[in-house]
Amino acid sequence: MPAPSDDDPFGLDALSVDALRARPGVKWSGVDGRLAAWVADMDFPIAPAITERLVELVTTDVGYANWPAVWRSTLPERFAARSAERFGWAPEVDRLFEMADVMQGVQVAVHHLSRPGDGVVLHMPAYHPFLATVAEMDRRLVEVPAQLVDGAWAFDHDALDERLRREPARVLVLCHPHNPTGHVFARPELEQLAEIADRHDLVVVSDEIHAELVHPGHEHVPFAGLGAGVAARTVTVTSASKAFNLAGLRWAILHAGSDELLAALRALPEHYLGAPNLLAVAATEAAWRHGDDWQRAVARRLDANRRLLADLLAEHLPRAGYVVPDATYLAWLDLRECGFEGDPAAVARSQGIELSPGPRFGPQGEGFARFNFATSAPILDLLVRTMAG
């Protein structure tokens, strides 16, 4: 494997397929030798600050941590400070609860704030665990379908407002920024959604896990940061796991702006939601204190890759539809005109590359696939060539 250089100090382009295939994580080890462009993990090496802190910890002490309580670490205060600094929203620390991951937080909120048969609003296509949650909890799906407007993904919230008059809902799960389209909800969109939520008495559960992966020209606005009235009907769930590639360590945080959810969570026994993972807390703290140079380098590589992907598709798969995402490292590819028969991801799999099948994200995903471009430029080129067959 090539060594990191002065131009690439973190080795983001010093990746080889053989080294990636030797990793134990599911992204590369779970695809039977195919190239991996599916699950939302990045290929890049771990930030040095995180590695150093974890090595220090596992070679000294992994016993009970010296935290304010067994079930609460010091990260809520750090998260509140980082949110205020980066996004201008200062969450109330006494309303913060640590979770194993963002999906646990979303499900906790849906469980406590709605009942079987209640409507749950989702922007479609939707992150597939959201769809599974709605189905498994016996909630009723209220869809807001994506549409292409002037070459960009958009959502018709006027239509949602009208639909809610006929089909009331209780919760709006907002994937913000949006997975899989990469759409960033701008402030006017969020303000309209806030008005709709107020008018129809919706609690907004805002998944902001990709907030630190917004590309130049766009801005992340926390939904709860729109004002005190909006915050009072908002539950925010997020984590460092996407921006710093820490998904396997299992840590997230929930802000219960909703008094109803706050009361429900405070009524639970203190160990009911489990205790934070010691290694996850250490890794997140190291990321937030010392990992920003790494994260900025990753952001630059992702920005370059989202534009490089457009060039590679134009050269090798010119009939593919691709809207350059505003955020994330995930591309939502329209492959309906590319000559694939059936599910494009199944065809790509037969050609030696694993993508995320579009239909997993709902009916709007027929003929689509989600493509993960968080890798080196040479491997991205290889991925597209392989997909094109």
Helix count and strand count (H, E) for the chain: 14, 14
Contact at 8 Å (CB) between 96 and 254?
A: yes
Contact at 8 Å (CB) between 123 and 174?
A: yes
Q: Which of 352, 316, 358 is nearest to 336 (CA)?
A: 358
Q: Provide the 8-state DSSP code for 348.
A: H
What pLDDT, on a 0 to 100 scale, did the predictor assign at position 340?
84
SS3 category, 325: coil
What pLDDT, on a 0 to 100 scale, did the predictor assign at position 3?
60
Please list the pLDDT of the chain residue by residue as tens digits (389 residues): 456 677 899 999 999 999 999 999 999 999 999 999 999 999 999 999 999 999 999 999 999 999 988 889 999 999 999 999 999 999 999 999 999 999 999 999 999 999 999 999 999 999 999 999 999 999 999 999 999 999 999 999 999 999 999 999 999 999 999 999 999 999 999 999 999 999 999 999 999 999 999 999 999 999 999 999 999 999 999 999 999 999 999 999 999 999 999 999 999 998 899 999 999 999 999 999 999 999 999 999 999 999 999 999 999 999 999 999 999 999 999 999 998 888 999 999 999 999 999 999 999 999 999 999 999 999 999 999 999 98
What pLDDT, on a 0 to 100 scale, did the predictor assign at position 1?
47
DSSP of 140-206: EEEEEEEEEETTEEEE-HHHHHHHHHHS--SEEEEESS-TTT-----HHHHHHHHHHHHHHTPEEEE
What is the homologous superfamily of the domain 17-47+292-388 according to CATH? Aspartate Aminotransferase, domain 1 (3.90.1150.10)
- Cβ contacts of 9 within 8 Å, gap of 6 or more: 297
The sign of the torsion formed by the CA atoms of 94, 97, 102, 103 equals: negative
Q: Would you kindly state where each structural domain of the chain is located, as residue ranges?
A: 17-47+292-388, 75-290
Domains 17-47+292-388 and 75-290 share a fold: no
Between CA 131 and CA 361 the distance in angstroms is 8
Contact at 8 Å (CB) between 241 and 247?
A: yes
The yes/no answer on whether domain 75-290 falls in CATH 3.40.640.10 is yes
What pLDDT, on a 0 to 100 scale, did the predictor assign at position 342?
84
Q: What pTM was computed for the model?
A: 0.96
- C-alpha distances (whole Å) from 14 to each of 1, 2, 199, 364, 373 are 6, 5, 52, 37, 15
Between CA 382 and CA 269 the distance in angstroms is 51
Between CA 210 and CA 20 the distance in angstroms is 24
Contact at 8 Å (CB) between 356 and 362?
A: no
What pLDDT, on a 0 to 100 scale, did the predictor assign at position 255?
98
What pLDDT, on a 0 to 100 scale, did the predictor assign at position 270?
85
Angle of the 259-266 helix axis to the 102-113 helix axis, nearest 10? 100
Element (H, E) at 255: strand 252-256
